[in-house]
Amino acid sequence: MRKLNLFAVETADHLVQPAEFADSSLNTAALDFVTDFKHNSPMMIDADTCAVEAEDMMKHEHSKLKLVIDANQEMIGLISFDQLSIQNVLQRMGKGINRKELSVADLMLPRSEVKALAYQQLQHCSIGDVLHTLQSHGEQYCLVIDTDSHHIRGLMSAADIASRLHVPVHIEKAPTFLNIFDRVYA
């Protein structure tokens, strides 16, 4: 057995992070930016979780997005920290729902409305292509699906892309008729 020496951590020793070594640009392969569920466990939350608890949990974990799962561990939607905002909670309370009775399922984006890109198509794209797609569709994030095996393979986030590229990314959600109606009659 080899004897090793222990060293003191000096003030000159800098904590490094992967982003410091990544020479990423808009031409970098899109797959380099996928949070791949084959290598990273997805951040999940039960649909029945109280919305107030979910907000506290996500705040504590510094998490901005979680996959919402049912009792069978199947994804039924996505919940973002923004969807747990007091404004969304107050809207639901205005409809007669008690704040403590609100669950993640009441506030989540249902699976039918979640957007995705195919893993197979990302093999031939740059991150610039993905970013342009997210911006043109007004999406902050999208899932990555392996269309051959029908697996939800990963996740891509505009915020993560912006962070790794060290550039600001602005994505505006296209207003729906309901949004326009609410603004006019507010």
pLDDT of residue 174: 61
pLDDT of residue 145: 96
Within a 10 A sphere around the Cβ of 170, how many other Cβ atoms?
7
pLDDT of residue 35: 93
pLDDT of residue 79: 96
Residue 33 near residue 156 (C-beta atoms within 8 A):
yes
Within a 10 A sphere around the Cβ of 31, how many other Cβ atoms?
17
pLDDT of residue 7: 83
pLDDT of residue 185: 57
pLDDT of residue 11: 82
14 three-state secondary structure? coil
Q: pLDDT of the chain along its 186 residues, tens only?
A: 988 888 888 888 888 776 666 678 889 999 999 999 999 999 999 999 999 899 999 999 999 999 999 999 999 999 999 898 877 777 777 777 777 889 999 999 999 999 999 999 999 999 999 999 999 999 999 999 999 999 999 999 999 999 888 888 888 776 555 555 555 555
Within a 10 A sphere around the Cβ of 130, how many other Cβ atoms?
23
pLDDT of residue 101: 84
pLDDT of residue 86: 78
pLDDT of residue 153: 96
pLDDT of residue 152: 96
Within a 10 A sphere around the Cβ of 117, how many other Cβ atoms?
23
- Between β-strands 151-157 and 35-36, what pairing exists: parallel, antiparallel or unpaired? antiparallel
pLDDT of residue 143: 96
pLDDT of residue 183: 56
List Cβ neighbours of 5 (8 Å cut-off, separation of 6 or more): none
CA 51-57-63 angle, 5° bins: 105
pLDDT of residue 19: 63
pLDDT of residue 90: 77
Domains of the chain: 26-178 (3.10.580.10)
